[in-house]
Amino acid sequence: MSKNKIIRWILLSCMLIQLPYALANESKTVVIAHAENKAEKFSKDEIKKIFLGKRTKWDDDRKIIFVTLSTGPIHKEFLKTYVGKTPAQYNKYWKKQIFTGKGKPPKSFKTEKQLLDYVSKTKGALGYISRKTLSNKSNKIQIIKIEQ
């Protein structure tokens, strides 16, 4: 076997080894918004601020109506990846806002389909679903690109 062939085999093997990790690292969650909202991308920090009620408006001054799932692995992954909290900590955060009068918790949905439906019908809405559910998306939805 020539030297080049050996190098090719090594490179290919490395790529094959890396593939499952690359797939695993790709987030299963996508952030979606109503198609008419004026934003195509947010930073991770901006998403965190929105879901903690610290940023409240889109660039066109319209109110951000952010919505969540009430439970499940996608909810857990989203909170961990973007908000840096566990579901229990996130609930506590909003209970703190409720009982000090500082805010109202986001509307939450039991299923991704319900959330998708709501976001597609509500101007100003922002939420998250799994990539799998996204395949049913209507043209009333836009995917928000998240910059790290």
Task: Give the footprint of other proteins on this chain (CB under 8 A).
Answer: 45, 49, 54-57, 63, 84-86, 88-89, 91-92, 95-96, 98-104, 121, 138-140
Could you tell me the smallest distance in angstroms from the CB atom of residue 44 to other proteins? 10
- Give the chain's largest Cα–Cα span: 73
Instruction: Decide whether 95 or 132 has the Cβ nearer to other proteins.
Output: 95
Could you tell me the smallest distance in angstroms from the CB atom of residue 92 to other proteins? 5
Could you tell me the smallest distance in angstroms from the CB atom of residue 95 to other proteins? 6
Burial of 138 (0-12, 13-18, 19+ CB in 10 A): exposed
**C-alpha span between 137 and 140 (Å, rounded):** 8
Q: Residue 121 in contact with residue 115, Cβ under 8 Å?
A: no
SS3 call for 33: strand
Instruction: Decide whether 8 or 95 has the Cβ nearer to other proteins.
Output: 95
Number of H helices, E strands in the chain: 6, 6
Could you tell me the smallest distance in angstroms from the CB atom of residue 21 to other proteins? 21
Instruction: Decide whether 30 or 64 has the Cβ nearer to other proteins.
Output: 64
